[in-house]
Amino acid sequence: MYALVYCVSAVLLVLTGVMQSYFSTLIALIASSKLHQKMFQRVLHCPMSFFDTTPVGRILNRFSKDMDELDYTFPFQLGYVIQYSLAMTGQMVLVGVIFPWCSIALVIIMVLIIIMDLWFHAGIREMKRYESIARSGIVVQLTSAMQGLSIIRVFGKQDIFIKKFHTYVNEHQKCHMLFYATLLWFAFRVEVLCSLLVIITGILVTYSPYITPAMAGLALSASFQVTQIVTGLIRNKSDLQARFTAVERINEYAKTLPQEQSVVSLKTPVPREWPPDGSITLKDVELSYRPGLPLVLKGINCHIKGGEKIGVIGRTGAGKSSLIGTLLRLMEIDSGSITIDGIDIANVPLAQLRSVLAVIPQEPVLFQGTIRYNLDPFNEYTDEMLWNALEQSYLKEKISLESMQLEAVVDADGNNFSVGEKQLICLARTILRKNKILLLDEATAFVDVETDFKIQKTVHETFAECTILTIAHRLNTIWDSDRILVLDAGRTPNILGQRKDLLVVSIDMFYILRVEAL
């Protein structure tokens, strides 16, 4: 009979343990997946000002260590807390049934532990929060060092960065050790209180005349187990509560990050074929990167006809790239308006607005994957169209020599291609989209003269009917433009005019550009 009871108990223990582990892990992973998705979507829709003021390492810390806490540590800690809670309940019931007088001491001790836990709870979470913040400094320093590794080695500044990295590690270790020292401090005091329960139980069973030796031994054994279980429960519960700082930090990003402005609803929706001509009008446009900062664009007024080729020139910091950013609504303008074919872009959904503008940036962007994925990530074009785009961008011969051709591997950030080749891939991607408006933000600044010529030739031939805004420091890049816009300190001292007029009124500007180009 006893053997059967033990066998059934063992089977039930295994089954409940497996079910508890499975469901606690499943629930925790589902919750962490949803939080990750919300945080990821929120970060993707943040305005550029957020990325300008937030170190990359701080964001990576949320997506790495904080998510690891939820995916790995949190389910185990939750499982331990559930197991210890059930075991403690069983032992307390057993002690109460065997020796009811012990229940009084047990209740008093548990009340004291709960009071201590409530007092201790705020401190342990604060320690964990400090540790997470200190870890962000390590990630920021490591990320910065990896990005500028070649420059650091060229100037022989490795020791400075290593020393700074050690400083961040030491700060993190201080917080880490303080966190665990605080846990041990609390665990010691809980063990002392639980030891009182064993002493009280021993005294009671010793002087109780109606307790048999067997029952006394069982009561003492149960009180010892209660001591161990309560200590483990409090320690794991405190650790679990501390892990909730990761949830707090992730939830902060998932709910409170600033978002790009949503579209104002229009009585008449924007046509799907918009814009038919590609004309652009800027009226009294003013822009600052963030509230309280100086204006970078100050009362810009100009009108660009559909199909015109406009060159944008100016000193470094004159606001050329900011002008492109306002067209894409990467930054919302402080005042004024920008219209494309008579529709204010502030009233156009961001996805639709950015889908009708083609951009070739100064620094080409490639994604890890294949040539096909970088040209057509949404599988919208046929192989023939992809090869035609590669041919127009002078890459067909190179890609055709690859064993995998369109499935050729592209490393992270396109590191297996030269800067010129990456820029030509971006050009091919732009050709496929066939947008009515093309924005060139110093697209040839980092390429050689030959690649510059190829890009300009393709742009003139392929985008002959499109509106083109070209920002450049090389004068030959904008010399064939229909008109030229001169920017100076965020203003347009010379409104769009012919080249010959600008040569007369802005010879100093051209001289500066000539010097910068050299």
β-strands 409-410, 369-370 pairing: antiparallel
Any domain includes 505? yes
Angle 2-44/74-98 helices, nearest 10 degrees? 150
With a CB cutoff of 8 Å and minimum separation 6, the contacts of 201 are 95, 99, 102, 105, 219, 220, 223
Same domain, 251 and 290: no
Least confident of 119-123, 163-167, 513-517: 513-517
Which tokens go with 384? 């023939």
β partners of residue 469: 310, 439
With a CB cutoff of 8 Å and minimum separation 6, the contacts of 106 are 92, 95, 96, 197, 226
Residue-wise over 218-257: b if at least 16 C-beta within 10 A, else e? bbbebbbbbbebbbbbbbbbbbbbbbebbbebbeebbeeb
Any domain includes 272? no
Same domain, 203 and 301: no
Any domain includes 23? yes
- Whole-number Å distance between alpha carbons of 231 and 225: 10
The CATH number that applies at residue 308 is 3.40.50.300
CB 446 within 8 A of CB 360: no
Which pLDDT band, with edges at 50, 70 and 90, does 508 fall under? very low
- Whole-number Å distance between alpha carbons of 219 and 92: 10
Any domain includes 266? no
- Whole-number Å distance between alpha carbons of 178 and 252: 25
Any domain includes 263? no
Q: Would you give the distance in Å from CA 482 to the centre of its chain? A: 41
Q: Which of 208, 223, 256 is the last residue of a domain?
A: 256
Domain count, the chain: 2
- Whole-number Å distance between alpha carbons of 475 and 439: 17
Half-sphere exposure of 456 (CA within 13 A, CB side): 22
CB 138 within 8 A of CB 165: yes
Q: Please report, for residues 47, 56, 293, 329, 445, the alpha-carbon distance to residue 53 in angstroms, rounded to integers and kept in the order given.
A: 11, 9, 13, 18, 26
Model confidence over 192-206: pLDDT tens digits? 887 887 787 777 777
Angle 419-433/383-392 helices, nearest 10 degrees? 130
pLDDT at 392: 87
Same domain, 221 and 291: no
pLDDT at 183: 79
Any domain includes 273? no
Judge if the upstream peptide bond of residue 275 is cis by omega within 30 degrees of 0.
yes
pLDDT at 39: 92
Report the percent of the chain where pLDDT is more than 70. Answer: 90
Q: How many helices (H) and strands (E) does the chain have?
A: 19, 12
Residue closest to 275 by CA, chosen among 429, 426, 466: 466
Report the percent of the chain where pLDDT is more than 90. Answer: 2
Residue 25's domain comprises 1-256
Residue closest to 301 by CA, chosen among 343, 330, 334, 338: 338
The CATH number that applies at residue 192 is 1.20.1560.10
Same domain, 177 and 285: no
DSSP three-state, residue 418: coil
Highest mean pLDDT among 272-281, 310-319, 446-455: 272-281
Highest mean pLDDT among 36-40, 274-278, 318-322: 36-40
Any domain includes 466? yes
CB 295 within 8 A of CB 489: no
Which tokens go with 29? 């992973």
Same domain, 52 and 144: yes
Residue closest to 413 by CA, chosen among 365, 361, 377: 365
Same domain, 369 and 474: yes
- Whole-number Å distance between alpha carbons of 264 and 281: 19
Same domain, 169 and 318: no
Same domain, 418 and 455: yes
Q: E strands along 296-455, which residues?
A: 297-304, 309-314, 335-340, 343-344, 357-360, 369-370, 409-410, 437-441
Any domain includes 238? yes
- Whole-number Å distance between alpha carbons of 71 and 31: 9
Same domain, 458 and 354: yes
> Is the pTM above the cut of 0.75?
no
pLDDT at 490: 66
Contacts of 108-113 spanning 24+ positions with Cβ under 8 A: 109/193, 109/194, 109/196, 109/197, 110/230, 112/193, 113/190, 113/193, 113/230, 113/234
Same domain, 79 and 207: yes
Q: Please report, for residues 146, 224, 225, 371, the alpha-carbon distance to residue 228 in angstroms, rounded to integers and kept in the order given.
A: 47, 7, 5, 60
Which tokens go with 120? 């201790």
Same domain, 252 and 287: no
Least confident of 94-98, 159-163, 165-169, 436-440: 94-98
Model confidence over 7-58: pLDDT tens digits? 877 777 778 777 877 777 788 788 888 999 999 999 988 888 888 888 887 8
CB 435 within 8 A of CB 358: yes
Half-sphere exposure of 394 (CA within 13 A, CB side): 15
Same domain, 385 and 473: yes
Which tokens go with 339? 């219209």
